[in-house]
């Protein structure tokens, strides 16, 4: 008796890549704006970045329907938090909430590969990187999505910071300036676009610092 | 399903062969084939079922001065290294540690949940929970999810009223009390170093060095282990992180480079 197999899958992969880099007093979050399914492009201008709290943004690649549902869920929880605590959620708090939200669907996961970026309560840049079921860690930089295997080695080469596990501890935050970090992100996506069919069209860059949130766009190859 | 291999036959079957082969059919030898849909994959799938898939190295042992806990920090997704800085030693509370092997999310979530339950126990009973109790709480939770695909291979190490305690708990529902454990794909290598160097009466420094070496050797030979070797000690006052060393640097510490004589000769010749 052969095992029964379903003839459809609830998941799809809409492709795309996301990156986040943490600086001493800023955080850069970037993602391409191409949404595809199989070999088809559904949109050249789909944003994968969403603002969850005042100084906390999330970029997600994977199955955008699950991403949308996840974003809505987190926005609702944030609203409740604001009602109950009369303040915005900090980035580390949102980080833990996202992890728990993902794990509660451990047996029917959100097909969403997330990177959370923002400022922590001391104003330093913080980036959290996740897998699909909620395991997370705070890092100095991260990339997720279809181009991540192309992007990550390049970021390791340029930004490799001492591991937070080392004793005596060394700071994990990048020594780059804000403009240098933004340039690095543009370079990285231009390269990823060359070799990943699911990455391209346009790059959306969001920079969070003490002044607030700034958005920038750059064209990528559309082929 | 029986293949007709009479075309391959060159000699008549022996007389001594068992009757079910010779009798019944024409006597053509056949071999049993697995009754699966995908003939080419069944063997690989069968191996995957029994293969312990936890790509990591963690270890813990009890000695005179308490419990020593150590782990690597590599997380792999198939062949891709997804992180070199994963915290595999989880601080459940100031006197109890848990190690992570298997699914990162499963271990992180359930260890945090265990920490919450331990704190609730303290508040309800006005005393700290024992290592026996904490490990039982976790084991019972994991047992209730048995068969649903959780992957957790953890050691609970702590110091309670009865002294140092160490338990191994896994997602199959197993829970073992012991003095020495190593969990993960690198554990055979770690056991080799750990078992040969272990004495009950070690000092804290000696035990830490033993634990560090064991993790280092496992990362050297196991592709799924690497990153930073962290070593923690659990004593009567609680746990303390003793060291975190990049295993690449540990290699050069244990195998220092000495310039060979050939190189020295060449620099002499290369003079003006």
**B220-272: pLDDT as tens digits:** 999 999 999 999 999 999 999 999 999 999 999 999 988 876 665 566 655 55
Best of A4, A108, A148, A165 to substitute, by most chain B Cβ atoms within 10 angstroms, is A165
Pairing of strands A136-139, B75-77: unpaired
Is B2 buried (19+), middle (13-18) or exposed (0-12) by CB count in 10 A?
exposed
Which is higher by pLDDT, A176 or B22?
A176
The pLDDT of residue B31 = 73
Overall average pLDDT of the A85-92 stretch: 95
Q: How many residues does chain A have?
A: 223
Q: Which residue of B has its CA nearest to A150?
A: B80
Is A200 buried (19+), middle (13-18) or exposed (0-12) by CB count in 10 A?
buried
| B36 tagged catalytic | no
Q: Split chain B (272 residues) into runs of 10 and give each run's mean pLDDT.
A: 71 47 58 68 58 79 96 89 91 92 92 94 95 96 93 95 95 94 95 96 95 96 94 95 93 89 61 58
Overall average pLDDT of the A87-115 stretch: 95
**In sequence order, which ranges of B165-246 are alpha helices (DSSP H)?**
187-197, 204-221
Closest among B95, B92, B127, B130 to B113, alpha carbons compared: B92
A151 — contact with chain B (CB < 8 Å)? no
Contact B128/B160 with Cβ under 8 angstroms?
A: yes
In this predicted complex, what is the ipTM? 0.91
Cα–Cα distance between B177 and B225 in angstroms, integer? 25
A166 — contact with chain B (CB < 8 Å)? yes
Q: Which residue of A has its CA nearest to B232?
A: A167
A157 — contact with chain B (CB < 8 Å)? no
Q: Which of B5, B36, B56, B267 is catalytic?
A: B56
Chain B residues with CB-CB distance to A100 below 8 A: 109
Interhelix angle B104-125/A91-104, rounded to 10 degrees, is 100
Cα–Cα distance between A180 and A13 in angstroms, integer? 32
pTM given for the model: 0.84
Is A126 buried (19+), middle (13-18) or exposed (0-12) by CB count in 10 A?
buried
Cα–Cα distance between A84 and A75 in angstroms, integer? 14
């Amino acid at each position: 008796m052969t095992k029964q197999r379903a003839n459809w899958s609830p998941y799809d992969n809409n492709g795309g890549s996301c990156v986040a880099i943490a600086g001493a007093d800023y955080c850069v979050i970037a993602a391409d704006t191409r949404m595809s399914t199989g070999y088809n492009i559904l949109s050249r201008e789909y944003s994968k970045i969403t603002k969850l709290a005042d100084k906390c943004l999330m970029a997600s690649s994977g199955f955008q329907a699950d991403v949308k549902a996840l974003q809505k869920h987190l926005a609702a929880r944030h609203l409740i938090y604001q009602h109950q605590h009369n303040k915005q959620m900090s980035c580390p708090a949102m980080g833990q909430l996202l992890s728990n939200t993902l794990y509660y669907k451990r047996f029917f996961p959100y097909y969403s590969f997330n990177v959370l970026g923002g400022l922590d309560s001391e104003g330093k840049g913080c980036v959290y990187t996740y897998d699909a079921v909620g395991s997370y860690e705070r890092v100095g930089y991260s990339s997720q999505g279809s181009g991540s295997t192309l992007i990550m080695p390049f970021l390791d080469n340029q930004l490799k910071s001492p591991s937070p596990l080392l004793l005596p501890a060394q700071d994990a935050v990048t020594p780059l300036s804000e403009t240098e970090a933004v340039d690095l992100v543009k370079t990285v996506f231009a390269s990823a676009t060359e070799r990943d069919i699911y990455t391209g069209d346009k790059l959306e860059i969001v920079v969070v610092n003490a002044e607030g949130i700034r958005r920038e766009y750059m064209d990528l190859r559309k082929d | 399903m029986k293949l007709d291999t009479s075309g391959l036959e060159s000699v008549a079957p022996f007389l001594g062969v068992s009757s079910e082969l010779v009798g019944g059919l024409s006597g053509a030898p056949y071999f049993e084939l697995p009754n699966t849909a995908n003939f080419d994959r069944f063997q690989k799938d069968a191996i995957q079922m029994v293969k312990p898939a936890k790509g990591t190295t963690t270890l813990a042992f009890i000695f005179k001065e308490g419990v020593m806990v150590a782990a690597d920090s590599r997380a792999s997704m198939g062949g891709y290294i997804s992180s070199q800085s994963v915290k595999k030693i989880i601080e459940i509370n100031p006197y109890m540690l848990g190690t992570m092997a298997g699914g990162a999310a499963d271990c992180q979530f359930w260890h945090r949940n265990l920490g919450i339950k331990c704190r609730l126990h303290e508040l309800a009973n006005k005393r700290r929970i024992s290592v026996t109790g904490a490990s039982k709480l976790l084991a019972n939770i994991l047992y209730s999810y048995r068969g649903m695909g959780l992957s957790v291979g953890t050691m609970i190490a702590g110091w309670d009223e009865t002294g140092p305690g160490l338990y191994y708990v896994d997602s199959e529902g197993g829970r073992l009390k012991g003095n020495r454990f190593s969990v993960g794909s690198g554990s055979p290598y770690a056991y080799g170093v750990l078992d040969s160097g272990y004495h009950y009466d070690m000092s804290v420094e000696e035990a830490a060095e033993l634990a560090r070496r064991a993790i280092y050797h496992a990362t050297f030979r196991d592709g799924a282990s690497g990153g930073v070797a962290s070593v923690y000690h659990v004593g009567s006052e609680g746990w303390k992180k003793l060291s975190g060393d990049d295993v690449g640097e540990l290699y050069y510490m244990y195998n220092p480079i000495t310039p060979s004589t050939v190189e020295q000769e060449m620099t002499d010749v290369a003079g003006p």
